[in-house]
Amino acid sequence: MSAPLRVYEPFKAGLPPLIPYWKSLFSRRTFISEYSRSELREQHFDSVFGQLWLVLNPLLLSGVYFLLIVIIGGASDGARYAHLTATLFLFYLVANSLTGGVKSITAGQRLILNTAFPRIMLPISAVVIAVFKFFPTLIIFFIIRIVLGLPFSWQMLWAIPIFFITLLLALALAITISCINVYFRDISSFLPYLTRTLLYLSPILYEASALKPQLKALEALNPLFPILDSWSQALVHGIAPQSSSLLTGLAWAFGVFLIGTYFFLSREREFAVRL
CA–CA gap between residue 140 and residue 85 (Å, rounded): 9
CA–CA gap between residue 89 and residue 81 (Å, rounded): 12
CA–CA gap between residue 51 and residue 65 (Å, rounded): 22
Work out the average pLDDT over 176-183: 89
Instruction: Please tell me which residue, 225 or 54, carries the higher pLDDT value.
Output: 225
Q: Cβ(63)–Cβ(148) under 8 Å?
A: no
Q: Please give the model's pTM, rounded to 2 decimal places.
A: 0.86
251 to 93, 122, 129, 208: CA distances (angstroms): 19, 24, 25, 19
Q: Is the pLDDT of residue 86 over 70?
A: yes
Burial class (CB in 10 A: 0-12, 13-18, 19+), 119: buried
110 to 17, 71, 105, 107, 144: CA distances (angstroms): 25, 50, 10, 8, 44
Q: Cβ(172)–Cβ(261) under 8 Å?
A: yes
12 φ/ψ sector (left φ>0, alpha ψ -120 to 50, else beta): beta
Give per-residue burial for 161-188: e unless 16+ CB within 10 Å, then b: ebbebbbbbbbbbbbbbbbbbbeeeebb
Residues above pLDDT 90, as percent of the chain: 26
**Among 230, 88, 90, 228, residue whose Cα is nearest residue 158:** 230
For 111, residues 6+ apart whose C-beta sits below 8 A from its C-beta are 117, 122
CA–CA gap between residue 232 and residue 244 (Å, rounded): 15
pLDDT score at 217: 67
Q: How is 192-230 classified by DSSP, letter by letter?
A: HHHHHHHHHHSTTSS-GGGS-GGGTHHHHH-THHHHHHH
Least trusted range by pLDDT, from 133-137, 138-142, 269-273: 269-273
Work out the average pLDDT over 253-266: 92
**CA 218, 142, 74: angle at the middle one, nearest 5?**
55
pLDDT score at 117: 75
pLDDT score at 207: 83
For 182, residues 6+ apart whose C-beta sits below 8 A from its C-beta are 105, 106, 267, 271, 274, 275
Work out the average pLDDT over 37-42: 74
Q: Is the pLDDT of residue 4 over 70?
A: no
CA–CA gap between residue 184 and residue 176 (Å, rounded): 12
pLDDT score at 10: 45
122 to 35, 98, 102, 107, 201: CA distances (angstroms): 9, 12, 10, 9, 29
What type of residue sits at position 36? S
Q: Is the pLDDT of residue 72 over 70?
A: no
Work out the average pLDDT over 26-51: 73
